[in-house]
Amino acid sequence: MVEVDIHHGSTGNDPIYAALGVPEIWRYDGFEMSILHLDQQEYVAAESSLALRMLTDEILTDYLARLRQDGEFQALLAFDQWLQSLPK
């Protein structure tokens, strides 16, 4: 689940996601990306994604900031270069 919480918080939706068994939420507030993992019917903060282990909250926050600063094309190029640099 990916949520963008620019104007209002959506943590009230967490019990619904938990009941549906959504294992992970990425929540962006316009400044920072948070990754949350479902643990015993509650969401807890995590540093990295369950689905994409190489993605951390810091990396996602950094590239989202680059979108604003450098534009979509340059940010996507930088992200692609970063992906290519990962060990295979």
Question: What digits encode the pLDDT tens for the residues 36-58?
Answer: 999 999 999 999 999 999 999 99
Mean pLDDT score, 20-49: 94
H or E stretch at 14: helix 14-20
Q: How far apart are CA 65 and CA 23, in angstroms?
A: 26
How do the domains of the chain map onto residue ranges?
A: 2-85
Which runs of E-coded beta strand occur in the chain? 2-4, 24-28, 33-39, 42-46
Tokens matching residue 86? 């990962």
Distance of CA 55 to the CA centre of its chain: 8
pTM of the full structure: 0.84
